Amino acid sequence: MQMFFARTEHGGHRVVPIQGGSAFKVNWPHGSVTYPSKRQVILALVNRTPQPPPGAYDPHLTFDRYFRRGRHGLNRRPALSVDVFDLFRPKAQIAIAKPAPKITPSPKLTVFQPERGIDLKKRAHEVRKLFFAGFARRVHRYGYDPEDVLQEIYQGILVRNKGKCPFDSTKSSFGHYVHMVCGCIVSNYHRRYSRLARNEVFGVLTVNDEMVDVADADLVRVEAVQEDQVSFSSTLAVLSSRIERAAAAAGYDPKLATSCVDYLYEGRKNREIAEITGSSAAMVTKVIRLVRSVALEWREGVPQPQMLHVQEGGMTPR
């Protein structure tokens, strides 16, 4: 009886034909399973399961191709037979292969890379000439010392020699590169010191609008703000009393209402006031709404030199 074995990647299970080759039995690790057709055998072996589900992968292989039988077998081409005695017969021609010609390696080519960057030991005088020719007048107009700016340019070139954009003679000329570097450094130098000139003050103005030194100026001057503070305190007290009466009439806690006025003046939020007073956030919101309405009515009805302006996040004097 002929016997087959599944391919190695499919488990190598033994396949035995039965009933004259119309059915096949596959020996799985857990037992044998009989399949009525060759197609069922191929599907089970390829999917590696005794009972492949509907829609399982179908490789569309025939039984002979899968098991490499017939014209699909491994020995489908006859082996070439060579008789040793044929080499000694007169008609035999022995071909001797010519040795491959020797290939002499060509000498290595040395490519010299151009030096990148500017050697200031050799070309500092050229940089100086280019700077004074193109930027000295501009630097004088700004009020700076050209020698100081020239030192900044030397430093900028040294930094660029070690950075990402050193001078490369294959990309630009020496004069164009130095002119570009000088323009960038002069602009940065002017931007830096103009910012200092805008922010630094070397004196103060007197009552006659004269600039004098700080040591000679009278800076101990205190504006009279006591009267404004007293007026604001009295205005806040009047408003607190009105809010206290309005809260009692509305059924709210008068002490909570006056506390909300003080905390709003400090700039606290509703949530913070609720945490400090121990009241609910809803109650604090209602009381603050009452405080704002009373303050708005009092502001519109009683004009005062110092009024309270109630806004989101606090109460500020106006």
What are the tens digits of pLDDT across the range 88-114? Answer: 666 555 566 677 777 777 677 666 666
pLDDT at 109: 66
Reported pTM:
0.33
Q: Where are the domains of the chain?
A: 4-72, 120-197, 227-317
What are the tens digits of pLDDT across the range 30-61? Answer: 888 888 888 888 889 988 888 888 888 888 88
pLDDT at 318: 45
What are the tens digits of pLDDT across the range 116-157? Answer: 889 999 999 999 999 999 999 999 998 899 999 999 999 999
Phi, psi angle pair for 242, to nearest 5°: -65, -40
Q: What is the DSSP string of 219-240?
A: -------HHHHHHHHHHHHHHH
The helix/strand count (H/E) of the chain reads as 9, 8
In DSSP terms, 211 is beta-bridged to 205
pLDDT at 150: 94
Best CA proximity match to 40, nearest among 19, 15, 68: 15
Best CA proximity match to 52, nearest among 68, 69, 28: 28
pLDDT at 78: 57
> Above 70 in pLDDT, residue 14?
yes
Spatial distance between the Cα atoms of 232 and 240, rounded to a whole number of angstroms: 12
Q: pLDDT grade, residue 284 (50/70/90)? A: confident
Spatial distance between the Cα atoms of 224 and 213, rounded to a whole number of angstroms: 26
pLDDT at 307: 40
Tokens at residue 184, please? 């960038």
> Above 70 in pLDDT, residue 261?
yes
Higher per-residue pLDDT: 79 or 128: 128
> Above 70 in pLDDT, residue 308?
no
Q: Can you state the angle between helices 226-250 and 254-265, rounded to 10 degrees? A: 150
Portion of the chain with pLDDT greater than 70, in percent: 75
What SS3 class is residue 314?
A: strand
Identify which of 1-15, 33-47, 299-313 has the greatest average pLDDT.
Answer: 33-47
> Above 80 in pLDDT, residue 75?
no
What are the tens digits of pLDDT across the range 193-235? Answer: 888 777 766 667 776 777 777 666 665 554 555 555 556 677 7
Q: Can you state the angle between helices 254-265 and 281-301, rounded to 10 degrees? A: 80
pLDDT at 185: 94
CA angle at 167 for the pair 151 and 183, rounded to the nearest 5°: 50
Spatial distance between the Cα atoms of 158 and 163, rounded to a whole number of angstroms: 9
